[in-house]
């Protein structure tokens, strides 16, 4: 009876999150509260259990990176980079698109996708205004690049943080396993940009000359802050990479970095260095963890894990393939964060006692599917939604179908290539 009630609460909350009938934070917190009332969760399991409670490593890693990003944002470095890149491309639209896609993808791997597009999109509009070029293709390409680039690292996309924590995968694991395929996918995506977006982008020497008059150095607001916060970010990345030597968990490294960035920026007010902290997202994560913990506690996840284990048997390639494609499909339709939060404990059960290579195949399939599937539709990833909002506010509305028309080409192609990578690396050559 308790199990049925817990499953019903979980599904109801999930439907509310997916359909956005109420705010996702309210749905997750409401679901978590009902789990407590049903006796599936108590304070011990919610706050102190590493198996079924709030994953504080995830919450504090996100918090630390959000604070660090808030400080870096005050420097104007992204605006500088984007204008510098456009000038390096000598005002040629397709070259500018390539540069902006690369900057977005690399920045998304080091920061989070939403912040990256929030910083790049306004400068893109500025550059396109100067060139009299349509900004929509650039903005769509940037949203997609952020989702692809974010897949490369542990900190690039929130689902990766959950997967890293639940599966015990380090920053270097992500770099080694996801880095190569993301580089390939970016190359393919740039080729796709040429075919999907280049039509209508024409070079005009007079307009290019107007672009060359922009002064990117003026975009830098505080040189000292740029040097200190850039240095702190570099140290944080080194901290992630040297985790096996220092023993410092990514969450601790991020918090140390956030603390150092704030300490070295005495002019910044708390409102400024907390500007990028998305408290609703952090609370949403906490609610989700409690909800999923309830499912684990009553044994639903364990039972599903056993069922999946027997269904997959020794057919790990079929299992990884299904994981990749189903994750890609679902992430295009619903938010990939709750999806990954639910799937992670299931994959933990599924891979218990499995060969490490096959376990890796399952985890990377989940990561690739969840991250790349977000490109399929306009609502598949937070970065897409943010770009659509900026475009609309600036008089260049992008309809759901206009984005999705491109997404339904990019997402299946990138997922298919990712499937080839999983097959080759973890099965054919393993």
Partner 1 sequence: MAEPFPVVDLDTDALQAAAAMAKRNLPGIVVRGEDGKPHTVIPGSQVLNFVIPQYVQDDPHLARVYDEEASDAFARKLASVTVRDVLPKKKDLEDLPVVDGDATGIEVAAVMARMHSPIAVVCEGEGGEILGVIRMGKLMSHLLPEHGQEG
Residues near partner 1, by CB under 8 A = 76, 79, 83, 121-123, 125-126, 129, 210, 213-216, 218-219, 221, 390, 393-395
Q: Smaller CB distance to partner 1: residue 148 or 390?
A: 390
State the helix-helix crossing angle for 382-393 and 400-423, rounded to 10 degrees: 150
Least distance in Å: CB of 116 to partner 1? 15
Least distance in Å: CB of 204 to partner 1? 14
Q: Smaller CB distance to partner 1: residue 190 or 220?
A: 220
Least distance in Å: CB of 210 to partner 1? 8
Please tell me the distance from the alpha carbon of residue 179 to that of residue 159, in angstroms, as a whole number: 16
Q: How many CB atoms lie within 10 A of CB 237?
A: 16
Spatial neighbors of 41 by CB under 8 A, at least 6 apart, are 32, 35, 52, 290, 293, 294, 297
Spatial neighbors of 294 by CB under 8 A, at least 6 apart, are 6, 9, 10, 32, 35, 38, 40, 41, 52
Q: Smaller CB distance to partner 1: residue 372 or 390?
A: 390
Least distance in Å: CB of 220 to partner 1? 9
Query: Where do the DSSP E strands lie in 321-385?
Result: none
Q: Smaller CB distance to partner 1: residue 309 or 394?
A: 394
Least distance in Å: CB of 114 to partner 1? 15
Query: Where do the DSSP E strands lie in 146-193?
Result: none
Q: Smaller CB distance to partner 1: residue 1 or 206?
A: 206
**By the 8 A CB rule, do 141 and 101 touch?**
yes
Query: Residue 279 is encoded by which pair of tokens?
Result: 């408290």
Q: Smaller CB distance to partner 1: residue 115 or 358?
A: 115
Please tell me the distance from the alpha carbon of residue 29 to that of residue 421, in angstroms, as a whole number: 38
Q: Smaller CB distance to partner 1: residue 213 or 267?
A: 213
Please say whether the dihedral angle defined by the alpha carbons of residues 303, 380, 162 and 287, taken in this order, is positive or negative.
Answer: negative
Least distance in Å: CB of 123 to partner 1? 7
In the numeric block, the tokens 């639910």 are attached to 342
Query: Residue 10 is encoded by which pair of tokens?
Result: 């979980």
**By the 8 A CB rule, do 67 and 273 touch?**
yes
């Amino acid at each position: 009876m308790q199990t049925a009630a817990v499953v019903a609460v979980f599904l109801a909350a999930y439907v509310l999150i997916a359909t956005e009938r109420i705010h996702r934070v309210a749905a997750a917190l409401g679901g978590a509260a009902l789990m407590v009332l049903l006796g599936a969760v108590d304070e011990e399991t919610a706050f102190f259990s590493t198996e079924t409670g709030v994953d504080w490593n995830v919450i504090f890693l996100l918090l630390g990176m959000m604070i660090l990003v808030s400080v870096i944002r005050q420097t104007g470095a992204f605006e500088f980079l984007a204008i510098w890149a456009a000038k390096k491309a000598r005002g040629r639209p397709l070259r500018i698109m390539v540069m902006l896609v690369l900057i977005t993808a690399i920045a998304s791997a080091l920061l989070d996708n939403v912040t990256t597009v929030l910083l790049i999109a306004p400068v893109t509009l500025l550059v396109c205004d100067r060139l009299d070029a349509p900004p929509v293709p650039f903005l769509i390409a940037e949203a997609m690049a952020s989702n692809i680039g974010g897949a490369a690292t542990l900190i690039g996309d929130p689902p990766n943080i959950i997967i890293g924590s639940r599966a015990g995968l380090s920053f270097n694991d992500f770099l080694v396993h996801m880095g190569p395929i993301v580089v390939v996918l970016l190359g393919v995506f740039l080729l796709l940009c040429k075919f999907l977006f280049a039509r209508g982008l024409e070079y005009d020497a007079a307009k290019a000359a107007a672009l060359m008059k922009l002064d990117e150095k003026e975009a830098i607001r505080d040189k000292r802050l740029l040097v200190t916060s850039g240095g702190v970010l570099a140290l944080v990345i080194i901290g992630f990479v040297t985790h096996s030597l220092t023993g410092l968990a990514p969450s601790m490294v991020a918090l140390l970095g956030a603390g150092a960035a704030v300490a070295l920026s005495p002019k910044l007010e708390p409102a400024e260095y907390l500007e990028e902290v998305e408290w609703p997202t952090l609370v949403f994560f906490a609610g989700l963890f409690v909800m999923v913990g309830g499912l684990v506690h009553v044994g639903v996840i364990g039972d599903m894990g056993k069922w999946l284990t027997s269904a997959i048997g020794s057919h790990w390639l079929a299992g990884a393939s299904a994981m990749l494609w189903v994750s890609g499909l679902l992430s295009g339709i619903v938010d990939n964060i709750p999806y990954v939060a639910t799937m992670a404990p299931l994959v933990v059960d599924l891979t218990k006692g499995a060969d490490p290579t096959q376990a890796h195949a399952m985890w990377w399939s989940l990561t690739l599917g969840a991250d790349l599937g977000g490109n399929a539709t306009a609502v598949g990833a937070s970065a897409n939604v943010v770009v659509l909002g900026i475009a609309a506010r600036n008089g260049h509305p992008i309809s759901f179908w206009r984005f999705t028309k491109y997404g339904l080409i990019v997402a299946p192609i990138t997922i298919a290539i990712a499937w080839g990578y999983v097959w080759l690396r973890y099965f054919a050559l393993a």
